[in-house]
Amino acid sequence: MQRLSLRVCTMPEAGPASPSPAGRESFGSRLRAAMAARGPLCVGIDPHPALLKDWGLADDAAGLRRFSLTVLEAVGSLAAAVKPQVALYERHGSAGMAVLEEVLAAAQGQVLTIADAKRGDIGSTMAAYADAWLRDGSSLAADSVTLSPYLGFESLRPALDLAADTGRGVFVLALTSNPEGASVQHVGGTDSVARRIIEAAAAENSRYAGSLGSVGLVVGATVGSALTDLHLDLPAVRGPILAPGLGAQGATPADLRRTFGAAYPQVLGTSSRDILAAGPGAQGLRDAALRTLVGLRGE
C-alpha cells in the first residue's frame, strides 16, 4: 500500500503531448497520463444528505464545503480524476454552486475534474451549457463534463467543438445501468440507440491524435452482458469510458475486467459511496481509495 501511495503523490507530467485540434494538449492525453501514473480510478464527490449527516455535518453550504474539500484533500493526489455530482450542489442554490466553483478551482493542477452535470439541449441553449462548463475563464469550467445525447448526438455539437478548442473533454451517456435506461438505449437490438451513440463518439475521436481521444462514454459498471448482447465495440471508440457503479452499487474490479474485456485499458472505474463512507477522516478516505486502486490495477 505504501508503495502505491508514493507513486501517485503528485499530478503526473505528461509525456509527448497529443494535441487537440486547436493545438492544446488534449483532455484525452492528460487523462491517459494520469491513469498510467496513478491508476484508473475516479472518485465521485457526492455530498448526499445522508453522508453529510453520517460525517456529522450540517446539510447546508458550510457542510457541503467541508465535505467536498476534505474529499479533495484526501484523494486528490491518488485518483486520476474526481467527479463532483452537480445536482447535489444545485440543491443548495447559489451558495452550493459557489462551493462547486471553489472545489473545481482547488482541483486545478492537482487532479482532473469531471463535472457530472449530464447536460443536453439544442441550439443556443446547448451552447450556453458548453460555455458554462468548458469555456476558458468560466467559474464553472471543469476538465470535462458529462452530457446527455438523447436529443440527438449532433445536438451536442457546441460542447464537442468547444471542448476540442479548449483542450477539455466530454463523457456522453451511452449505456447506463439503471433499469429505465434499457427502454431507450437498447432499442434496435444490434442496431441499438446505444450503438449509434458509441459509433458517433468514435467518429468524433478521429479528430484527436494519440492513443486516447477526448470524447468519452458513460457506461455503467453493472451493465452485465449488454455490451455483448448489443454487439457494442468499445475499443473502437478510442476514448475513455467512465464506469460508475464500482463498490456500493455492487461492481468489483474483477467485474469491470469481465464486462469491458478488451476495452478495460480505457475504463475509468468510478467509486463514490464506497469510498466516501470511510470518512470523515482524510486517512480513512485515502485508505479506501488505495484499496480500490489496488483492485483496479490487479495488484
Catalytic residue numbers?
118
Instruction: Quote the Cα angle for 143-148-151, to 5°.
Output: 140
Residue 262 sits at φ, ψ, to 5 deg, of -65, -20
State how far the Cα of 20 lies from the Cα of 165, in Å rounded to an integer: 7
Torsion of CA 213, 216, 219, 220, to 10 degrees: 110
Residue 14 sits at φ, ψ, to 5 deg, of -70, 150
Pairing of β 267-271 and β 41-45: parallel
Return the SS3 of 118.
strand
Q: Specify the residue for cell string 475513455.
A: 240
For residue 156, give the nearest of 212, 216, 238 by alpha carbon.
216
* CA-atom Rg of the chain in angstroms: 18
State how far the Cα of 119 lies from the Cα of 147, in Å rounded to an integer: 5
State how far the Cα of 269 lies from the Cα of 81, in Å rounded to an integer: 10
* Cβ-proximal residues to 188 (8 Å cutoff; 6+ apart), any chain: 195, 196
For residue 147, give the nearest of 165, 134, 136, 137 by alpha carbon.
134
C-alpha of 258 from chain center: 20
State how far the Cα of 1 lies from the Cα of 264, in Å rounded to an integer: 23
DSSP 266: G
